[in-house]
Amino acid sequence: MTPTPPPFTARLQAELEQFRRDGVYKRLNYLDSPQGPRAHMEGRGEVLILSSNNYLGLCNAPEVVEAGKRALDRFGAGTASVRFICGTFTIHRELEQALARLVGCEASLTSVSCWNANEGLCAALLGDQDVVISDQLNHASIIDAIRLAKAITKCRTAVYKHSDMADLETQLAAHRDARLKLVFTDGVFSMEGDIARLPDIVAVARRHDAIVAVDDSHATGVLGPTGRGTAEHFGMLGEVDIITSTLGKALGGAAGGFTAGPAALADYLTQRSRPQLFSNALPPTVAGSALAAVQHLEAHPELVGRVRDNATYFRDQLAGMGFKPLPGETPIVPVILGETAKAIEMSDLMLAEGVFVTGFGYPVVAQGHARVRCQVSAAHTREDLDFALAAFKKVGRSLGLV
């Protein structure tokens, strides 16, 4: 006899059905080959990837993959406990030194994701006498890190309008009595592709005796002449108090994150960050591949120029067809369509043409601002980009968009 499902599963099924009706249900597409400019998708064959954060094309770079294998052979799968209890592999120290050097900080500390890095930072650094002020369009990991810190430490929180320096100034002035004032922003905003006004943010923060933290996940390896991130883009290396970022995008694409800043901060987080104290370190294979990705970037800064050139070409060609890509300098190229249903339909039709690009609507983005978000890589050839553009033209015409 088939067991009766517990009552809560009926509620979940009903909500899942509503997701489908609302057009926000997310399907998992399974790849059966390494991530790259093109990959083999189960049930689809070869597709062109226009939805990955593989900005430098390093996910399957031979030296990155081989470095992960060597680390696995040398160190095994892991330590089976947290770093201060059972020991820390030397490759973690080597990676952390390389990451600090890359982003222009004194020291860094790795974690299993940038989400963990953001959570560990806010809850460890902020107390009930402190305030954290966040950009309105910050990534969910920053938002949830702040929510968690508020619940744990009773810190104060505030939000300033996106890239609005007058509002940031107002929020800082309203919290002038706080012991620590932390301004937290993305370096590159993942849904818009725009860059934080870092020089202005730092200037406003300094006037109010505040410190600045930047989540550079979509800027590391992408911005600046040599890919060192938002600070390098603005000629401000060494002038940002705290940088968090990921290893799961441009730097190999596997997993992991880090927090960089003064040596005292890395040491303090080692003592007090709950994700550090209660979860395992990065697997050695991930640490090895990420270290090789950093070294590859340092040896091949021309990759940064290549991804920038590809993004400029792709954005200009889309605009020339009559689409409405948001302007910008990053490889994130959102094409605004307005309605959620239209964004999802376009994503489905593009996949039928052999191009994997994802549609986003409310609540991920604001009502009326649904889009397909294209993400361009240094590994894309001009032939790849032209293939995607031809698909955009065909699908756009069929939907009456161009």
Tens digits of residue pLDDT in 114-147: 999 999 999 999 999 999 999 999 999 999 999 9
The answer to whether 218 is a known catalytic residue is yes
For the chain, the structural domain boundaries read 22-51+301-398, 62-299
What is the rounded average pLDDT for all residues in the chain? Answer: 95
Question: For residue 332, what are the β-bridge partners?
Answer: 375
Give how far the C-alpha of residue 25 lies from the chain's centroid of Cα atoms, to the nearest Å.
Answer: 22
pLDDT at position 204: 98
DSSP H helical ranges for 76-176: 83-86, 90-103, 114-125, 140-153, 165-174
- pTM value is 0.95
pLDDT at position 189: 97
Pick the CATH number of 62-299 from 2.60.40.10, 3.30.300.280, 3.40.640.10, 3.30.70.930: 3.40.640.10
pLDDT at position 1: 66
pLDDT at position 283: 96
How many whole angstroms separate alpha carbon 84 and alpha carbon 64? 28
Catalytic entry in 190, 245, 347, 377: 190
What CATH architecture does domain 22-51+301-398 belong to? Alpha-Beta Complex (3.90)
pLDDT range class, residue 46, cuts 50, 70, 90: very high
pLDDT in tens, 279-328: 999 999 999 999 999 999 999 999 999 999 999 999 999 999 999 999 99
Among residues of the chain, what percentage have pLDDT more than 70?
100
pLDDT in tens, 189-223: 999 999 999 999 999 999 999 999 999 999 999 99
Question: Is the separation of the CB atoms in 358 and 373 below 8 Å?
Answer: yes
Q: Average pLDDT of 72-99?
A: 95
Report, in angstroms and rounded to the nearest whole number, the Rg of the chain calculated over CA atoms.
22
Q: Which residues fall within 8 angstroms of residue 254, CB to CB, at 6 or more apart?
A: 59, 68, 247, 248, 285, 286, 289, 290
pLDDT in tens, 96-110: 999 999 999 999 999
Q: Do the domains at 22-51+301-398 and 62-299 have one common CATH topology?
A: no
How many whole angstroms separate alpha carbon 342 and alpha carbon 344? 5
**Distance (Å) of CA 284 to CA 57, 81, 89, 259:** 21, 13, 8, 18
Catalytic entry in 181, 249, 296, 369: 249
In this structure, what are the phi and psi dihedrals at residue 121, rounded to the nearest 5 degrees? -65, -55
The answer to whether 393 is a known catalytic residue is no
The answer to whether 249 is a known catalytic residue is yes
